[in-house]
Amino acid sequence: MTDRKFGPDVESGKEELGASVVQYESSGSPISDAEKALRWKQDKRIVPLSAGIYFLCYLDRSNIGNAKIMNSSTGNDLMTETGMSNFEYTIALMIFLVAYGLFEVPSNILLKKLRPSRWIAFLMFSWGALTIGLGGVHSYASVTVVRFLLGVFEAGLFPGLVYYLTFWYKAEERSIRVAFILASATLAGAFGGAIAYGIGHMNGAGGLSAWRWLFIIEGVPSCISAFFVWFLLPDYPESARWLTTQERDLAVDRLRLEGSKGHHKAMTRAEAVQTLTDWRLWGHYVVYFGISTPFSSLSLFTPSITAGLGYHDLQAQLMTVPPYAVAYVVQILTSWSADHFNARGLHSAALATVGAVGFLASAALPAEAYGPRYGCLIVAASGAFACIPPLLGWLSSNIFSTASVGLAIALNIGLGGAPGQIVGVWIYRADEAKAGYPTGHWTNAALLLMVAAGCLLLRVYYARRNRRMLTESGAGAGAEVRLFKY
């Protein structure tokens, strides 16, 4: 049997495997009690810690949106005190994403070389210190430089965490866990608005404006938590001392075919070329570009959008909480369902369509229809955020070598996500606030419809590839085939 029977990058080289055809796209096979107990033990150690790390990361990257409008009625906001124009503010947002896109691939390579706990702790301390530094900026230039450096160190976290999960979980177990991590971003958005509302009342305390306190207070937990991550985040199953010998053996064995391996060496040039020229992966990158624009624009401009819905100053920040809170619940439920029914493509397509409808309705409604448009914002945010975890789980489950998984995830977020997020920085124009930001809503709606179409096309493509591989392997004639996930 040839490597092609396993898709494009099989870890095992040319080894012969077994004597029967096994269709790995099915997630309905029962697992033993021992495996359930092991998975729960891993979950308790890995998922809350990973979600907490990303919560702090997202809080530190998106708080600039709250700083922009905080106490603007008294002239104590970020924009006034640094003398920034709306155009310069947008450039400061974009420069973060430029760095974010450039440093994701090298960061994932370093994560494997230096161990996840060490590398993630280093990143965490660095971005926390830079966030605190934002509390001391006084000019457009200083904001831009610090935001660029913030992008350098935050770039590796999310693709790193998605890659990290492939060392611990099977393909059909990843979407829901990615969802808990990514959903912490929506939780951070909800808490971020509430925190900003509270800190907004500290204006003038200690001689500092409230927006400066916002950066300082939200940066400190990241710096402190980095020390705990260094010691508490487990690296690989093979080296996990908190597992018994039997549990370590089971953890390694259950990922024999569809997980990354801690003992495998870093990427070779041949693996890099193979991953870069696997054109089906570029379909995933295009789809991820489409979802990244709504993700970015909502992350950065939800306070401005709610301010354009008749809410003002600190009240506008408080009203950012419900869209994120609802999106959190929808994300978790969608990702559970996607894993349970092994239908990640269809779930992402459905939720992207829901998000598109929310943006379309918001764009079509009269600018003064504040109540209905606020409801549409909740629907749009829920759909846009909820379709991301299944997309990431789908991509990682259809790559079959340790090195290639790390590179493909980083490329997905670097080549697809970062450019998409840069577009998201520009589409909510300040001069359209009174008109209800139609350009932003129409753009997000169009891109989400593209995401839905792309997911359906990829699903059809994988179904055809699976049928061809089964035919070529001679089903029932002594071959074992790892099929693509839907």
Sign of torsion over alpha carbons 285, 286, 288, 289: positive
pLDDT at position 14 is: 33
| Each residue's pLDDT tens digit, 357-410 | 999 999 999 988 888 988 999 999 999 999 998 898 888 788 766 667 777 888
Which pLDDT belongs to residue 401? 66
> pLDDT tens-digit profile of 10-26?
343 333 222 333 444 44
Looking at residue 291, its pLDDT comes to 94
The pLDDT value given to residue 31: 73
Report how many domains make up the chain: 1
The reply to whether 88 falls in a domain is yes
Choice between 79 and 340, residue whose per-residue pLDDT is larger:
79
Q: Which residues contact 74 (CB under 8 A, 6 or more apart)?
A: 203
**pLDDT band at residue 163, thresholds of 50, 70 and 90?**
confident
Give the residue numbers spanning the domain of 225: 17-256+278-473
Distance CA 92, CA 141 (A): 9
- What pLDDT was estimated at residue 474? 64
Torsion angle, CA of 34/35/40/43, rounded to 10 degrees?
Answer: 150
Residue 351 has pLDDT above 60, yes or no: yes
**Domain annotation covers residue 434:** yes
Q: Give domain status of residue 368, yes or no.
A: yes
Q: pLDDT per residue over 257-286, tens digit each?
A: 665 555 455 566 777 787 888 888 999 999
Instruction: Name, in order, each residue with C-beta under 8 angstroms of 44's C-beta and a sequence gap of 6 or more.
Output: none
The pLDDT of 103-115, averaged and rounded, is 84
Average pLDDT, the chain: 84
DSSP state of 431: G
Give this prediction's pTM. 0.77
pLDDT at 267: 60
**What is the CA 141 to chain-centroid distance, rounded?**
28
Tell me whether residue 264 is in a domain. Answer: no
CATH of the domain at 224: 1.20.1250.20
Task: Say if 11 falls within a structural domain.
Answer: no
Instruction: Round the CA-based radius of gyration of the chain to a whole number and report it.
Output: 23
Average pLDDT over residues 453-469: 92
Tell me what pLDDT residue 95 has. Answer: 92
Q: What is the pLDDT of residues 295-320, one digit of tens each?
A: 889 887 887 788 777 776 667 777 88
- Is 354 a member of any domain? yes
In a domain, 265, yes or no: no
Structure tokens at 193: 């608005």
Tokens of 98: 């430029």
Residue 66 lies in a domain: yes
Q: What is the pLDDT of residues 417-445, one digit of tens each?
A: 889 989 998 999 888 888 889 999 999 99
Return the DSSP state at 76. -
DSSP string of 130-193, one letter each residue: HHHHHTT--SHHHHHHHHHHHHHHHTTHHHHHHHHHTTTS-GGGHHHHHHHHHHHHHHHHHHHH
